Amino acid sequence: MSLRAIVCLLLLSCLPRMASAGAGTVAPVSQRVLILVYHRFATQRVDSMTVRAGTFIEQLHAIEASGYRIVPLADVVRWHDGQTDALPARAVAITVDDGHRSVYDVLRPLLAAHPVPVTLFIYPSAISNARYAMTWDQLRALGRSGGYDIESHTYWHPNFATERARRTEADYQRFVSLQLGRSRARLESETGRPIRLLAWPFGVHDAQTDRLAVREGYVAAFTIDARPVLPTDPSMALPRYLMTDACGTRCMNGLLQTAGEQP
């Protein structure tokens, strides 16, 4: 056997080991990514949409015990955009919509003890205005802390389906553009950071709102469709699971199993 043939055989024998060595660190092409969306937090039971601190910690432990890593939402967007090395093989992202004051009062201390990245989708009309919402100072403090990314949830959280039904076509387009553009401008002005991501209020969107979002400078948008994200999903309609207080360890394990299944 020639020296060249021997070298070729040795290289071929290394290929399986090389492939398996990278399998746990780089997202495979067929990966499914879980994005979770929360709204409110509390120390005691309030309602199903308000997740208790103990429930949230249970969920974090279930994620970690299953070998998943909680990653910044921006990394999920990069992966979805084709950068397959942007994520580990098992990835979960956490988002919180609305800007409720419990994010500062309850979630912030939890994440100080259990640091994970979180994206906050904010509608600016409520901040420093509604009694249930955070203040701009609180929101800026979270942004400076390093663990929170602040993004847009439109300006005042309208239901676009309702607005479409009661407006003319031209008025509706102006309204959507105002909601998207004004939110982005206000958030950038208050935080000093670029706003690139959008969460659709109530998950309501269509092809027209998607086009307007792109025109207003958004690179990705998120719904509340209860399924994992696939690489083939439209960038303006990336799904998220709505989290409730009823979702403990068993529930979270089921969601993670769904994410691990092949599409």
Instruction: Give the end-to-end CA distance of the chain in Å, rounded to a whole number.
Output: 45
Contact 160, 175 (CB under 8 A): no
pLDDT of residue 27: 54
The pLDDT tens digits for 5-21 are 433 433 333 333 333 33
Contact 128, 139 (CB under 8 A): no
Contacts of 24 (CB under 8 A, 6+ apart): 88, 89
Residue 135 in this model has a pLDDT that exceeds 90: yes
| CATH tag, 31-260 | 3.20.20.370
DSSP one-letter code for 42: E
Residue 36 in this model has a pLDDT that exceeds 60: yes
What residue has token string 């021997």? 6
Q: What are phi and psi of 148, to 5 degrees?
A: -120, 130
For residues 232-240, give the mean pLDDT: 98
For residues 73-82, give the mean pLDDT: 98
Structure pTM?
Answer: 0.88
pLDDT of residue 196: 98
pLDDT of residue 263: 54
Q: Across the strands, what pairs with 41?
A: 51
Residue 2 in this model has a pLDDT that exceeds 70: no
249-260 helix and 53-65 helix, angle to the nearest 10 degrees: 40
The more confidently predicted of residues 210 and 262 is 210
Instruction: Output the DSSP codes for 162-202.
Output: HHHHHS-HHHHHHHHHHHHHHHHHHHHHHHSS---EEE-GG
Contact 56, 37 (CB under 8 A): no
